[in-house]
Amino acid sequence: QVQLVESGGGLVQAGGSLRLSCAASGRTFSSYVMGWFRQAPGKEREFVGAVSRSSDSTYYADAVKGRFTISRDNAKNLVYLQMNSLKPEDTAVYYCAASSGWLITFTRGEVDYWGQGTQVTVSS
């Protein structure tokens, strides 16, 4: 069992930056692909980014590529999402997720654990 707790959300102006953190419980953190999804009001949950178990690979949705960076610290059981050049369309609840599968399956939402989510609001 893995529990995920997100933090770092908030209100920011367009063009600003935020860093989300996700703390994971358990001793098997390094055995999971980790990443982030988001869900805007009235829309389906969508993939944002993911990082492989050893951090040698990352994958991003086209909408955030070049602006967002995902990273992890296996010693601290933490995963981060650095969000720069934020736009109003980035407004959503952001969810941390963990998968025992692969990066490609993670992007399709095939995950084992979800966090509760943290709200990110970008004002214009």
Q: pLDDT, tens digit, for every residue of 26-74?
A: 879 999 999 999 999 999 999 999 999 999 999 999 999 999 999 999 9
Q: pLDDT, tens digit, for every residue of 59-115?
A: 999 999 999 999 999 999 999 999 999 999 999 999 999 999 999 999 999 999 999
Q: What is the 3-state secondary structure (H, E, C) of the chain?
A: CCCEEEECCEEEECCCCEEEEEEECCCCHHHCEEEEEEECCCCCCEEEEEECCCCCCEEECCCCCCCEEEEEECCCCEEEEEECCCCHHHCEEEEEEEECCCHHHHHCCCCCEECCCEEEEEEC
